[in-house]
Structure 1
Amino acid sequence: MVDAITAIGSGYKGLSYYAIRSNLLYEMKKEFNLLVETFRKFWKETGCTIMVDGWQDQRNRQLINFLVYSPKGITFVRSIDAFDVVKGVKTLCNLFIEFVEFVGVTNVVHLVTNNAANYKAAEAMLNEKFPSIYWSPYVAHCLNLILGDIGKMENVSTLAKSVSDITKFVYNNGFLLAWLRKRHGWKEIIRPRATRFATTFIALKIIHEHKHDLQFFVTSRDFIDSRYYRDKKAKIFVEIVIDNRFWNDCTIIVNIVAP
């Protein structure tokens, strides 16, 4: 490219960043639209499901992704900034109507959204206009709500606190983490997050699987002779790991949420 530019000689004006970016983006958009059009004929032949994935990022921006599923595969079609949309049921419904008409009313068999009250109300309005479209909430959101309710139970929240204490101690001590990672079949512990209830139970399951490794470590000479053993937080860690009641409760909860 540089050789070609220098061959032109003085006076050549290079394209700006914005001109190059715009051209590339335009070409990519054309390619994307062609891809969507190739899927459209399959939507007509087999019918399709519209999947609406609404979420909020760390800066509290409300975004909605629209995807279309058919036996041919899943196609991402559109993403919008929906800060003002999700608050109004009618506005949200109009957005659904617009997308359904884009896909083709006779092509859409099924609509999947989350289980929030505004989405359910918007779907009810949509169903009045298009009675042939069946709606259902997406399973992940329903399961998340179920696990959230289970997590509010006193004994489960106590377990979750203990799991969090174990996880923090393990990952804040390089010596301990390096020792555990050398154990056969070691899996990294998923760190519990307040906004994703399932991660608490997944972390609980992984901790339960590492019971013998953790108990072996807290009784090992390597740990007892190390400076980590004299850490104040180590006392809490050891008490949890050698507590049989903690492990019995872990077994019960892991079996309950396994399905």
Structure 2
Amino acid sequence: MAVLDGGPVFVKAIDGSGEFKYKHYIAEVLKDAIKEIGHENVVQVITDNASVMKFAGALIEGEYPKIFWTPCVVHTLNLALKNICASKNTKKKEVTYEECSYITRIADDASFIRVFIMNHSMR
């Protein structure tokens, strides 16, 4: 996906279901897209926060010093919200969970909706 002055534009999709998602594979997929668009037209690459994506982002930044890798803010918030009740103190954990349990329900609902859309070709 690319974002231009006129808004976001779908560039292409890649079926990587049969591939092992290691840093060099991800980096090559990103490089191919950058070459297709033209590296002078790319400012930023955004992925989720998985370590393999961080490594791939570092490879991109190494090859293209003017292109920056950025972790997805939504993914970052999702991880933070999932762990918000992860206190080691059992009593504190119970109180915190009571106060924040709605977050777990919302995250579960959002995950259900995402899975439904992904499984029903509604992307």
TM-score, normalisation: structure 2: 0.72
Q: Relative contact order (C-alpha < 8 Å, sep 6+): which is higher?
A: 2
Percent of aligned pairs with the same amino acid: 26
In structure 2, do the counterparts of structure 1 residues 152 and 78 end up closer, same or farther at CA, with 3 Å as the change threshold? same
Cα distance, 1:109 vs. partner? Answer: 0.9
The residue number in structure 1 matching 2:114 is none
For the residue of structure 1 that corresponds to 2:58, the secondary structure is helix
Give matches, 1:112-151, under 5 Å. Answer: 112-151=46-85
Please state if 1:74 is matched with 2:8: yes
For the residue of structure 1 that corresponds to 2:108, the secondary structure is coil
Please state if 1:95 is matched with 2:29: yes
Structure-2 separation of matches of 1:79 and 1:156: 41
The residue number in structure 2 matching 1:104 is 38
In structure 2, do the counterparts of structure 1 residues 191 and 122 end up closer, same or farther at CA, with 3 Å as the change threshold? closer
Cα distance, 1:193 vs. partner? Answer: 0.8
8 Å CA contact 2:27–2:56 kept in 1: the answer is: yes
Structure-1 separation of matches of 2:110 and 2:20: 19
> Which of these residues, 92, 97, 100, is aligned with residue 157 of structure 1?
97
> Which of these residues, 179, 187, 193, is aligned with residue 108 of structure 2?
193
Structure-2 separation of matches of 1:74 and 1:110: 14
Residue ranges of structure 2 left out of the alignment (5+ in a row)? 88-92, 112-123
Cα distance, 1:97 vs. partner? Answer: 0.4
- The amino acid that maps onto 2:21 is K
Residue ranges of structure 1 left out of the alignment (5+ in a row)? 1-66, 165-189, 197-259
For the residue of structure 2 that corresponds to 1:111, the secondary structure is strand
TM-score, normalisation: structure 1: 0.36
Give matches, 1:219-234, under 5 Å. Answer: none
In structure 2, do the counterparts of structure 1 residues 150 and 78 end up closer, same or farther at CA, with 3 Å as the change threshold? same
